[in-house]
Amino acid sequence: MANAPTAEEFEKLGAFWLGRTQSPTGEETDELLLYDSKDLTTHALCVGMTGSGKTGLCLGLLEEAAIDGIPAIVIDPKGDIGNLLLQFPNLQPSEFRPWVDAGEAARKGRTPDEHATKTAELWRKGLASWGQGPDRIKRLQDSAEFAIYTPGSDAGIPLQVLRSFAAPPPALLDDADAFRDRVASSVSGLLALLGINADPVRDREHILLSSILSHHWRDGRDLDLPGLIHAIQTPPFQRIGVMDLEAVYPAKDRFGLSMALNNLLASPGFAPWMEGEPLDISRLLWTAEGTPRISIISIAHLSESERMFIVTIVLNELIAWMRSQSGTSSLRALLYMDEVFGYFPPVANPPSKKPMLTLLKQARAYGVGCVLATQNPVDLDYKGLSNCGTWFLGRLQTERD
């Protein structure tokens, strides 16, 4: 068996310990596989078929980052990342016992207590063979705070997402391109939530809402959903481009759009969206005392359009936050998105695509590293792929992949 690494080797600041290297013939060596955290500022992509270990590897990466004091926002479309909170610091059977699946224990011919004991033993031995003991788990626990957010539900911490119609920070208002992107993708996200797939340039729903948001935000004024509903009926302008508003989008048609938003607002399922902690990136990344946080935004329970809405909004907020920071060449924070399929596709243009591309192109300057996991490289837009400096490759399914 390989020698256990020393604590100094593990804990070298700026190096994430991912395992041990293999020889060209596939045997494990004694050499630690250390990943330079700086390399994550040029982002990482993790591809491999289901079961190839993508989520496992990325959880390892997040844990190493946390130990190094690097916070993360994690978007979890499948609900697999919550396991990060199962840390069992003493590796004692009593810590495993509440999580034992009685059915699984029975299938193995064990009582739940026996199964907890066996599982604790398995973990202890498994971790020890990699030179890790309870002290390192404790270290992880002491390094960061872990939280699971569940927008639209109070199963975890509810997240109040409609703050995104609040005016963006001044740094973003001053940048014309960034401002336009922010308006366009906020509107696309909202329309996605209404089940309307509108084109930013051609479709009048998009054009009207964009005009309303721009109008308010340019003056630094916030807008909430009731305000938006009102503004659709009585916009603060009479023209769109050079055309008369009534000719482009008559009042009776605008009423239809405002009703759709109103129905959303009034539906019982919508109340949780308005409650909870405000979506504030710096709060997701650090506690008030400055302790790094790993904030998991779990969206598995949501409908497809709701997921798209949340992802778009989180990415937009991250961009806005990032632009308000000073530049840096070291890694400051991570965005990890598991199973990114459908959010950053090569041909289609969902609302999440633009902010994702912006992040991959610009986040580096602010020390924000993106880690994306998916099953096939062809799931992702090549303009984004070419911005990923690290590729973690698992088993792939086809030659083309």
Ligand X SMILES: Nc1ncnc2c1ncn2[C@@H]1O[C@H](COP(=O)(O)OP(=O)(O)O)[C@@H](O)[C@H]1O
Q: Is 52 in the site for Mg ion (CB under 5 A)?
A: no
For Mg ion (CB under 5 A), the number of binding residues is 2
Nearest-angstrom CA–CA distance, 352 and 280: 18
Instruction: Give the residue nearest to Mg ion (CB).
Output: 55
Residue 134 identity: P
| Options 51-59, 153-161, 296-304, 329-337: segment touching ligand X (CB under 6 A) | 51-59
Nearest to 66 by CA among 39, 88, 91, 84: 84
Residue 213 identity: L
The CB-of-339 to Mg ion minimum distance in angstroms stands at 6
Would you say 286 and 293 are in contact if contact means Cβ atoms under 8 Å apart?
A: yes
| Options 31-39, 45-53, 249-257, 279-287: segment touching ligand X (CB under 6 A) | 45-53
DSSP, residue by residue, 217-249 = HHTT----HHHHHHHHHS-S-SEETTEEHHHHS
In the set 5, 48, 235, 369, which binds ligand X (CB under 6 A)?
Answer: 48
Q: Is 312 in the site for ligand X (CB under 6 A)?
A: no
Q: In the complex with Mg ion, which residue's Cβ is closer, 80 or 205? A: 80
Q: Is 52 in the site for ligand X (CB under 6 A)?
A: yes
| Options 50-58, 193-201, 210-218, 248-256: segment touching ligand X (CB under 6 A) | 50-58
Site for ligand X in 235-294 (CB under 6 A): none
Nearest-angstrom CA–CA distance, 248 and 367: 44
Decide which of ligand X, Mg ion, none touches 353; Cβ closer than 5 to 8 Å per partner kind: none
Sequence-distant (≥ 6) Cβ neighbours of residue 237 within 8 angstroms: 211, 215, 245
Question: In Å, how far from its chain's centre is CA 185?
Answer: 16
Would you say 273 and 152 are in contact if contact means Cβ atoms under 8 Å apart?
A: yes
Q: Is 51 in the site for ligand X (CB under 6 A)?
A: yes
Decide which of Mg ion, ligand X, none touches 323; Cβ closer than 5 to 8 Å per partner kind: none
Nearest to 191 by CA among 181, 179, 180, 203: 203
Q: In the complex with ligand X, which residue's Cβ is closer, 56 or 342? A: 56
Decide which of Mg ion, ligand X, none touches 195; Cβ closer than 5 to 8 Å per partner kind: none
| Options 52-60, 243-251, 305-313, 364-372: segment touching Mg ion (CB under 5 A) | 52-60
Q: Is 210 in the site for ligand X (CB under 6 A)?
A: no
The CB-of-384 to ligand X minimum distance in angstroms stands at 20
Would you say 311 and 73 are in contact if contact means Cβ atoms under 8 Å apart?
A: no
Q: Is the dihedral of CA 36, 37, 40, 41 positive or negative?
A: negative
Q: Is 298 in the site for Mg ion (CB under 5 A)?
A: no
The CB-of-395 to ligand X minimum distance in angstroms stands at 9
Residue 305: its H or E element: helix 304-323
Q: Is 53 in the site for ligand X (CB under 6 A)?
A: yes
In the set 10, 16, 54, 132, which binds ligand X (CB under 6 A)?
Answer: 54
Nearest-angstrom CA–CA distance, 140 and 28: 26
Nearest-angstrom CA–CA distance, 356 and 371: 11
Q: In the complex with ligand X, which residue's Cβ is closer, 103 or 268? A: 103
Q: Which residues pair with 392 in a beta bridge?
A: 46
Q: In the complex with ligand X, which residue's Cβ is closer, 178 or 370? A: 370
Q: Is 37 in the site for Mg ion (CB under 5 A)?
A: no
In the set 55, 132, 210, 312, which binds Mg ion (CB under 5 A)?
Answer: 55
What is residue 338's DSSP assignment? S
Q: Is 389 in the site for ligand X (CB under 6 A)?
A: no
Q: Which residues bind Mg ion (CB under 5 A)?
A: 54-55
What are the residues binding ligand X (CB under 6 A)? 48, 50-56
